[in-house]
Amino acid sequence: MSVRKPAVSGLFYPANAEDLSDTVSRYLATPASFDHNPKAIIAPHAGYIYSGSIAGVAYSALRNSAKRISKVVLLGPSHRVGFRGIAVPSSDEFSTPLGNIAIDAVNLGKLTLLPQVITLDSAHAQEHSLEVHLPFLQQCLDSFELTPLVIGDADAESVAEVLELLWGGEETLIVISTDLSHYHDYVTALEIDAATTREILALQHSLMGDQACGCKCVNGLLLLAGRKGMHISCLAQANSGDTAGDKRRVVGYASYALY
């Protein structure tokens, strides 16, 4: 049994299981005013003190559909390893302080058909963009299998093809991990991120890296969402100047739901 161990436990979120559970519960306590059952959510991946409250709003939107979800397809950008394509792990499970999550072997089997998908454990080993979402998923869902995908150099069509293959029915939730703009002053960030949200809500699949670090993941979802005639809502938006104080160099965050 091969287990991918946490890389940012104690850094991005509490390492103690009880503290982590309490923290996530607190972020989930402000429910989204959202009446639909999301097929997909887009949520941020910074340290919890920065973006946990924004992520929590996205996950709280699952409250009515959580019982039906048994598969999660989780996509996030690679921050540490450069590679072409989309990386899956060879691990059987991913671990957090809240326990282990089984990797979806059926989904990984399907992905072997696609040339853009590679097995690359180094892309997963230290990557936080997927890991920080796992405690939220563990807190919200009863039991689920995980398909973790780290996105390298991949165009929107390549990502959309993967999502289409794994789309499934109401048992499958798609989670896209991204932050918005990075390291502008507060006012500049507000302007950039507001424009980015307008593009996302219009299902424009041409975001660039200076707008969202997970632009490749988001673009793939938006491309497919447009083809499927889906609707999208912005559930919450802020930046680190709102959540952690310093307004001189901020990172933007937002949560969206697609249905």
Tell me what the pLDDT averaged over the chain comes to.
Answer: 97
Residue bearing tokens 């979800």: 69
The answer to whether residue 147 is domain-embedded is yes
Under the banding of pLDDT at 50, 70 and 90, the label for residue 33 is confident
Q: Which domain holds residue 79?
A: 19-258
Three-state DSSP state, 130: helix
* Averaged pLDDT for residues 25-42: 90
The answer to whether residue 8 is domain-embedded is no
The answer to whether residue 60 is domain-embedded is yes
Distance CA 206, CA 181 (A): 15
Count: domains in the chain:
1
Per-residue pLDDT of 72-94, as tens digits, reads 999 999 999 999 999 999 999 99
Per-residue pLDDT of 89-134, as tens digits, reads 999 999 999 999 999 999 999 999 999 999 999 999 999 999 999 9
The tokens for 114 are 């696609």
Distance CA 100, CA 134 (A): 10
Under the banding of pLDDT at 50, 70 and 90, the label for residue 32 is low
Residue type present at position 182:
H
* Averaged pLDDT for residues 51-67: 96
The answer to whether residue 132 is domain-embedded is yes
For the domain that residue 173 is a member of, what is the CATH number?
3.40.830.10
The answer to whether residue 179 is domain-embedded is yes
Statement: residue 245 has pLDDT above 90: no
Under the banding of pLDDT at 50, 70 and 90, the label for residue 35 is confident
* Averaged pLDDT for residues 169-183: 98
Residue type present at position 118:
I
The answer to whether residue 43 is domain-embedded is yes
* Averaged pLDDT for residues 224-232: 98
Residue bearing tokens 């282990």: 100
The answer to whether residue 5 is domain-embedded is no
* Residue 205 CA, distance from chain mean position: 17
The answer to whether residue 2 is domain-embedded is no
The tokens for 155 are 């165009």
Statement: residue 34 has pLDDT above 90: no
The answer to whether the CB of 66 falls within 8 A of the CB of 143 is no
What DSSP string describes 132-180? TTHHHHHHH-SS-EEEEEEE-B--HHHHHHHHHHH--STTEEEEEE---
What pLDDT does residue 30 have? 80
Per-residue pLDDT of 140-172, as tens digits, reads 999 999 999 999 999 999 999 999 999 999 999
* Averaged pLDDT for residues 51-55: 98
* Averaged pLDDT for residues 170-189: 98
What percentage of the chain carries pLDDT values higher than 70? 100
